[in-house]
Amino acid sequence: MNSYSENKALPERIALVGPTAASKTAVSIALAKRLPIELISADSMQVYRHMDIGTAKPTVEEQAAAVFHLIDVVNPNEPWTLSDFQREGAAKCDEITARNHTPLIVGGTGLYSRALTQDLRIPVTPPNPELRERWQKICDEAGTASLYAEVVKIDPEAAARIHVNDAKRLIRVLEVYECQGRTISDLHAENRSEAEHYNVALFGLNYANRDLLYDRINERVDLMIQQGFLEEVERLLGMGYGPDLNPMQSLGYRHLTSVITGDDTLSEAVDLRKRDTRHFARRQLIWFRADPRIQWVEMEGLSTEDAADVILGAIAK
């Protein structure tokens, strides 16, 4: 087993990314037992309070095994943006560094991890209520598929990352294009090429055998149901967090809301959640594969401790 030597300087920041269900949290905790690190969650859903099971938020036991940041930050009806994450995440990185620890940025939200691993200058396009209202009206009349079709025409790269039912993100892509005359993907690409990179070591967890990853996804969804995910959604709705809120439109939450409203059976919703999560994992991999900085760790046959060994060995080089 590799061990960390205090004589060996760590990178300024470390990041661990990859698709959902790839054991990122478990490997991060294994690293935290052997490195002077603190974890920053780069997951766009784990920032929301009361949304625990469906976001695969670290458990109480897991949070006791390592120091986590940017979990349970806002309520589901409160605004939270990439800019908010970048600002709060950068502040946490500074705090962690001041304690002579190293930030480990861990999660599957691509822009979140990128926001803390390079000097990402987020393209600023102020909200345009008139455009949003127009596109929302089209969505209400023709469905989200109509928005998705428009996004495919102007920005197929963004369409590959966004679920066909994610009306808010689809409208944002269309809004940016109309306001800027350029696609949001082009703006992000320009940002990537010009941004200053931190001294960071990036690692990605992967399953080359996709069937193994998909089996893990299916098992995770089943476990969430056993842990009380349906009851969690019922509780959120009972607290007044309506189904139209963006977090409630996310993977799993929208599926189980349809069970509560009687539109789907539990079995149908679970099957749809599994399918959509597999599609989401593919989009995550497409995103992360585009970053040449990432050193990939193939997880097939590896325990979490084994994966930590691989990462420690790479850091020590």
CATH number at residue 114: 3.40.50.300
User: Please, are residues 295 and 201 in contact by the beta-carbon 8 Å criterion?
Assistant: yes
| Higher pLDDT, residue 4 or 145 | 145
| Higher pLDDT, residue 241 or 7 | 241
Residues 64 and 139 reside in one and the same domain = no
Q: Domain range spanning residue 287?
A: 13-120+195-316
Q: How many domains does the chain have?
A: 2
Q: What is the pLDDT of residue 90?
A: 94
What's the token pair of residue 181?
């005359």
pTM recorded for the entire structure = 0.81
Nearest to 158 by CA among 69, 43, 287: 287
Q: How confident is the model at residue 191 (pLDDT cuts 50, 70, 90)?
A: low
pLDDT tens, residue by residue, 268-300: 999 999 999 999 999 999 999 999 999 999 999
Query: Is position 8 within any domain?
Result: no
Question: Would you call 14 helix, strand, or coil by DSSP?
Answer: strand
Query: Is position 172 within any domain?
Result: yes
Amino acid at 234: E
Min mean pLDDT across 15-24, 117-126, 280-289 is at 117-126
Query: Is position 4 within any domain?
Result: no
Q: Sort 149 into a burial class: Cβ within 10 Å, 0-12 / 13-18 / 19+.
A: middle
List the Cα angle 310/312/317 in 5-degree steps: 100
Residues 72 and 210 reside in one and the same domain = yes
Residues 115 and 137 reside in one and the same domain = no
| Higher pLDDT, residue 82 or 193 | 82
Residues 185 and 217 reside in one and the same domain = no
Residues 139 and 58 reside in one and the same domain = no
Min mean pLDDT across 80-94, 119-133, 188-202 is at 188-202
CA gap 86, 114 in Å, rounded: 9
CA gap 278, 257 in Å, rounded: 20
Residues 85 and 202 reside in one and the same domain = yes
CA gap 231, 272 in Å, rounded: 18
Q: What mean pLDDT comes out for the span 203-215?
A: 97
CA gap 214, 207 in Å, rounded: 9
Query: Is position 174 within any domain?
Result: yes
Query: Is position 6 within any domain?
Result: no
Residues 248 and 303 reside in one and the same domain = yes
Q: How confident is the model at residue 127 (pLDDT cuts 50, 70, 90)?
A: confident
Q: Residue 148 belongs to a domain with what CATH number? A: 1.10.20.140
Q: How confident is the model at residue 5 (pLDDT cuts 50, 70, 90)?
A: low
pLDDT at 315 exceeding the cut of 70: yes
Query: Is position 2 within any domain?
Result: no
CA gap 189, 184 in Å, rounded: 9
Residues 63 and 207 reside in one and the same domain = yes
Residues 150 and 200 reside in one and the same domain = no
Helices (H) and strands (E) counted in the chain, each on its own, are 14, 6
